[in-house]
Structure 1
C-alpha cells in the first residue's frame, strides 16, 4: 500500500539527513564516541533502524501512514527501515544510481 511506501521514503530521507546532512556536522558524534556508539550516526543500517522506530512512534501524528501500535510492529518497521535504507544507500548516491563497469560484459554496483 501507499502507507508502506510513504513510510520507507520518509525513513530513508530522515536517515540520509541525520547521517549526511551538513547541518548536523557540528553535533554529529565521532565514530569512537562512547566506545564506538558514535558509529550509529555514520551507519545507514543502524540509523535506518532507529529512524524507522521513531517514525513508527509518531505515526499517529501524520496522515501519511498509520500502523497499529504494538512492540512487534515497532520491531518490524525498524527492521524494514534499516534494510531499505541500507539498500538504497548502497544503490544510490548524489549523482544517481551507483553503477560501475569493470569489464566489457560485467556490471557491478559500487
Structure 2
C-alpha cells in the first residue's frame, strides 16, 4: 500500500473508532436516563427498549424461546429476537431515539 493510502486508511479506522466511542457513550447515557423517566413507559415501550438493549449488549438472540408458561419470558424473547440481524450501531441508534421519545412525553 502506498504511504498516503495507508495514512488515509488509518485515519478512517481511527475516525470510526472515535465515532463508535461517542455512540457507545450516548447509548450508556440513554440507558441511565431511561431509569430516571418521570412517567412509567408502557409495556410495549419497555419491550421495545429491551429488544434493542439486548441486541446491543449481546447481539442476535442466542437462547431457546421460553415455554408456554413463561409469558413474560416469551414477550421479552420475542422483543429481542425481532431485531435478529440488526447491527449494533442500528440498535444503539434506535434505543437512543426511543429513550429520547419517551423523555419528551
Point out the structure with max Rg over C-alpha: 2
Instruction: Name the TM-score, length of structure 2 as normaliser.
Output: 0.32
Instruction: Name the TM-score, length of structure 1 as normaliser.
Output: 0.31
